[in-house]
Amino acid sequence: MGPATLAQVLRQIPPMHDENLLVGPGTADDTAVYRLTGDLALLATVDFFTPVVDDPYLFGQIAAANALSDIYAMGGRPVFALNIMCFPDCLPPEVMGDILRGGADKVLEAGAVIAGGHTVTDDEPKYGLAVTGLAQPAGVITNAGARPGDVLVLTKPLGTGVLAAALKGDLLDEDTINQVTESMRTLNREAGAAMTRFGLKACTDITGFGLLGHAAEMARASGVSLVFRYGALPLLPRVEEMAAMGIIPAGAYSNREYLEGQVGLTGLDQARELILFDPQTSGGLLTAVPSGQAGEFLAQLHSHGVTEARVVGGVVEQGSSLITVEK
Amino acid sequence: MNEKRLDCRGLACPHPVIQTRKALEDPEVEAVVILVDNAAARENVSLFARNGGYGVGVTGQGGLWEIRVQKKDGERPAAPAPGDGPVYLVTSNQFGQGSPELGEVLIKSLLVALAEDPPATLVFLNTGVFLAVAGSSVLPQLEALKDKGTEILCCGTCLKYYRLEEKPALGRVSNMLEITERLHRSGRVITVA
């Protein structure tokens, strides 16, 4: 659902208070954080969606990597997950088995277990997981911790929404398809672990609202403005070419509309501008790093296999634009 | 005026663009009018048409729009959208170094093989242009590729230099600007030398 509609609906839910609810719906963060004891907090998140690729096993892996990502974005470690599956009667049950197997393999790779699940009959398949994780309350990384002077690091290349649409239009070569699916099914575990080692304070994962949609949540929650440099952004292959051809999912337009007037963009054509709002599936982590640590942090990411991680911008004092993007 | 109408109401990305592109591939069609009912489709089709070098006009309001995409008179037909297949840059009328006789046999079998998986574009450069002019032994293979949608471009400077007829037997005379544009736009360029 688009961010504008979602915000409208959520306003009608009465505010609730619990002193142990450290992170709730108020800051549009990646997971809820609930303090269990002085040094242990529970993280909870749920995410599911319709297939982005045809291969059911691969879809299961991608959906699980995407759901687990929220836990990593908060500096936690996943402990167990519950499957959520919508499935039509008209498809063979083996397809559902393959989706669940893909999800289970990813959950195992993350060092967690599947603890149960729920299935509903529906016209179109949908799959995802509710994931529970643990963290020390002091080690929780929220989207509210960005400080002026920090640099912004993005850990995966952008463009999965554009390329998923291009894939549906049969416009992609095998090499590009492999790169985009590989990126989507890669866990953000290494990036999350590196953030914890460096004691970082601010992160969000880049998913349905696109880079700037999630960056805006971080800017708002942290009370800062963010500056990006387009030329520094890591992009999946052929994303600019496909966007220039008009292969841009509707979500990119609604994400852009929601932030109208709050984002300053200079010198970008329409296609590039929309890439900044492209809804991502299982995207990377966007984290704010104190500038003195940035070089070492990036080097560690690269040496732990997060090879596409780049410095993409910086955090500044709150200004008239929530976000500015330079060429 | 040969105009084709498409009803793309209710269709999500990428289908309106894919249908528009397919309709424009027909050389008989001079303009395509696309009916869409969502702003993303309107923007996407307009973006596709503008970046493809077509004329674009949008009319309508209130959630229903007509986009008119016009091929421009006298200009080269629109470039094939990238991503359909590789571009083969053929810089010689022989495939590989060695016996010229073998090189000619090899290039012929290459073109036969290509018909199974046609590339987006074949660019003939330097002695490569000999393959596309009258008297070439591979004209039937090129004809077959052209029928399957492969664009065939011949370097004009090369045709002139070798004093070949002004016009290639197949495909069309091109210049370095267009050729480099094809090479830059393609994700995959394969050179046959």
Cβ–Cβ contact A149 with B under 8 A: no
Average pLDDT over residues A44-54: 94
Whether B124 and B186 share a structural domain: yes
Q: Looking at CA atoms only, how far is residue A233 from chain B in angstroms? A: 20
What structural domains does chain A harbor? 31-139 (3.30.1330.10), 151-326 (3.90.650.10)
Q: What's the pLDDT tens digit per position in A264-297?
A: 998 899 999 999 999 999 999 999 999 999 999 9
Asked if the model's pLDDT at residue B74 lies above 60, the reply is: no
Cβ–Cβ contact A299 with B under 8 A: no
Q: How many domains does chain B have?
A: 2
Q: Please answer yes or no on whether A245 and B51 come within 8 Å at the CB atom.
A: yes
Q: Please report whether residue B28 resides in a domain.
A: yes
pLDDT-derived band at B78 (thresholds 50, 70, 90) equals very low
Could you give the angle at the alpha carbon of A132 between the alpha carbons of A127 and A134, nearest 5°? 150
Q: Please report whether residue B80 resides in a domain.
A: no
Cα dihedral B16/B20/B21/B24 (nearest 10) = 180
CB A72 within 8 A of CB A106: no
Give the CATH number for residue B26. Answer: 3.30.110.40
For residues B2 and B25, give the distance between their C-alpha atoms in angstroms, rounded to a whole number.
13
Q: Please answer yes or no on whether B18 and A249 come within 8 Å at the CB atom.
A: no
For residues A152 and A203, give the distance between their C-alpha atoms in angstroms, rounded to a whole number.
9
What single DSSP character describes residue A280? P
Asked if the model's pLDDT at residue B168 lies above 80, the reply is: no
Q: Please answer yes or no on whether A271 and B51 come within 8 Å at the CB atom.
A: yes
Q: Please report whether residue B76 resides in a domain.
A: no
Asked if the model's pLDDT at residue B156 lies above 90, the reply is: no
Whether B154 and B114 share a structural domain: yes
pLDDT of B82 reads 45
Residue A83's alpha-carbon distances to A34, A46, A97, A183, in angstroms, are 21, 10, 12, 22
Q: Please answer yes or no on whether B44 and A248 come within 8 Å at the CB atom.
A: yes
- Of B17, B44, B70, at which residue does a domain stop? B70
CB A62 within 8 A of CB A185: yes
Of the candidate ranges A26-30, A99-103, A177-181, A293-297, the one whose mean pLDDT is the lowest:
A26-30
- Which chain A residues have a beta carbon less than 8 Å from that of B45? 246
Of the candidate ranges A135-139, A223-227, A259-263, B155-159, the one whose mean pLDDT is the lowest:
B155-159
Q: Bridge partners of A86?
A: A120, A126
pTM of the full structure: 0.75
Q: Looking at CA atoms only, how far is residue B4 from chain A in angstroms? A: 20
Mean per-residue pLDDT of chain A: 95
Closest CA to A229 of A203, A200, A266, A280: A266
Q: Bridge partners of B31?
A: B3, B70
Helices A250-258 and A210-222 pack at an angle, to 10 degrees, of 30
pLDDT of A248 reads 97
Whether B121 and B146 share a structural domain: yes
For residues B59 and B137, give the distance between their C-alpha atoms in angstroms, rounded to a whole number.
51
- Of B70, B101, B121, at which residue does a domain stop? B70
Q: Please answer yes or no on whether B188 and A173 come within 8 Å at the CB atom.
A: yes
Residue the block writes with tokens 């699916």:
A181
Of the candidate ranges A34-43, A230-239, B21-30, the one whose mean pLDDT is the lowest:
B21-30
pLDDT > 90 in chain B, percent: 37
Q: Please answer yes or no on whether B48 and A245 come within 8 Å at the CB atom.
A: yes
Residue the block writes with tokens 């480099």:
B180
Cβ–Cβ contact A134 with B under 8 A: no
Predicted-assembly ipTM surpassing the 0.95 threshold: no
Q: Bridge partners of A287?
A: A153, A203
Q: Please report whether residue B37 resides in a domain.
A: yes
Q: What's the pLDDT tens digit per position in A117-131?
A: 999 999 999 999 999
Cβ neighbors of B187 (< 8 A, separation 6 or more) are A173, A176, A237, A238, A241, B82, B83, B86
CB A52 within 8 A of CB A59: yes
Whether B27 and B113 share a structural domain: no
Q: Please report whether residue B49 resides in a domain.
A: yes
- Which chain A residues have a beta carbon less than 8 Å from that of B52? 245
Of the candidate ranges A32-46, A171-185, B178-192, the one whose mean pLDDT is the lowest:
B178-192
Q: Bridge partners of A316?
A: A225
CB A280 within 8 A of CB A206: yes
pLDDT-derived band at B61 (thresholds 50, 70, 90) equals confident
pLDDT-derived band at A6 (thresholds 50, 70, 90) equals confident
Whether B41 and B103 share a structural domain: no
- Which chain A residues have a beta carbon less than 8 Å from that of B49? 246
Whether B52 and B129 share a structural domain: no
Q: Looking at CA atoms only, how far is residue B11 from chain A in angstroms? A: 11
Whether B66 and B92 share a structural domain: no
Asked if the model's pLDDT at residue B105 lies above 90, the reply is: no
Torsion angles phi and psi, residue A127, rounded to 5? -145, 145
pLDDT > 70 in chain B, percent: 92
Token pair recorded at residue A53: 């690729």
pLDDT-derived band at B76 (thresholds 50, 70, 90) equals very low
For residues A164 and A51, give the distance between their C-alpha atoms in angstroms, rounded to a whole number.
10
Average pLDDT over residues A112-119: 97
For residues A131 and A46, give the distance between their C-alpha atoms in angstroms, rounded to a whole number.
6
Q: Looking at CA atoms only, how far is residue A32 from chain B in angstroms? A: 33
Asked if the model's pLDDT at residue B83 lies above 70, the reply is: no
Q: Please report whether residue B118 resides in a domain.
A: yes
Considering only residues A87 and B145, tell me which one the structure prediction assigns the higher pLDDT.
Answer: A87
- Which chain B residues have a beta carbon less than 8 Å from that of A238? 83, 187
Average pLDDT over residues A82-107: 97
Q: Please answer yes or no on whether A248 and B46 come within 8 Å at the CB atom.
A: no
Q: Please answer yes or no on whether A246 and B48 come within 8 Å at the CB atom.
A: yes
H/E element, A8? helix A3-10
Average pLDDT over residues B9-24: 94
Closest CA to A197 of A293, A311, A308, A314: A293
Q: Please answer yes or no on whether A171 and B14 come within 8 Å at the CB atom.
A: yes
Whether B119 and B179 share a structural domain: yes
Asked if the model's pLDDT at residue A13 lies above 80, the reply is: yes
pLDDT of B73 reads 66
Nearest to A245 among B17, B41, B43 (CB): B17
Residue A11's alpha-carbon distances to A6, A131, A167, A257, B159, in angstroms, are 9, 25, 36, 19, 70
For residues A78 and A16, give the distance between their C-alpha atoms in angstroms, rounded to a whole number.
26
Kindly give the pairing relationship between strand A285-289 and strand A151-154.
antiparallel
pLDDT of B187 reads 78
Rg of chain B on CA atoms, in Å:
19
In our burial notation (b when 16+ CB lie closer than 10 A, e otherwise), range B172-191 reads: ebbeeebbeebeebbbebee
Of the candidate ranges A24-28, A130-134, B80-84, B125-129, the one whose mean pLDDT is the lowest:
B80-84
**Which residue is closest to B49 within chain A, CA to CA?**
A245
Cβ neighbors of A1 (< 8 A, separation 6 or more) are none
Q: Please report whether residue B176 resides in a domain.
A: yes
Closest CA to B187 of A237, A231, A181, A179: A237
Q: Looking at CA atoms only, how far is residue B52 from chain A in angstroms? A: 8
Whether B64 and B153 share a structural domain: no
- Of B70, B95, B112, at which residue does a domain stop? B70
**Which residue is closest to B53 within chain A, CA to CA?**
A245
- Which chain A residues have a beta carbon less than 8 Å from that of B47? 243-246, 248, 270-271
Range of the domain at B48: 3-70
Q: Please answer yes or no on whether A173 and B18 come within 8 Å at the CB atom.
A: no
Average pLDDT over residues A148-170: 97
Average pLDDT over residues B109-136: 88
Q: What's the pLDDT tens digit per position in A63-72?
A: 999 999 999 9
pLDDT of B84 reads 64
Q: Please answer yes or no on whether A246 and B38 come within 8 Å at the CB atom.
A: no
pLDDT of A7 reads 84
Whether B56 and B121 share a structural domain: no
Asked if the model's pLDDT at residue B166 lies above 80, the reply is: no
Whether B96 and B188 share a structural domain: yes
Give the CATH number for residue B157. Answer: 3.40.1260.10
Asked if the model's pLDDT at residue B1 lies above 80, the reply is: no
Q: Looking at CA atoms only, how far is residue A270 from chain B in angstroms? A: 8
Q: Please report whether residue B79 resides in a domain.
A: no
Size of interface A-B (CB pairs under 8 A): 73
Residue type, A271: A
Cβ–Cβ contact B10 with A under 8 A: no
- Which chain A residues have a beta carbon less than 8 Å from that of B187? 173, 176, 237-238, 241
Average pLDDT over residues B35-43: 94
H/E element, B42? helix B39-51
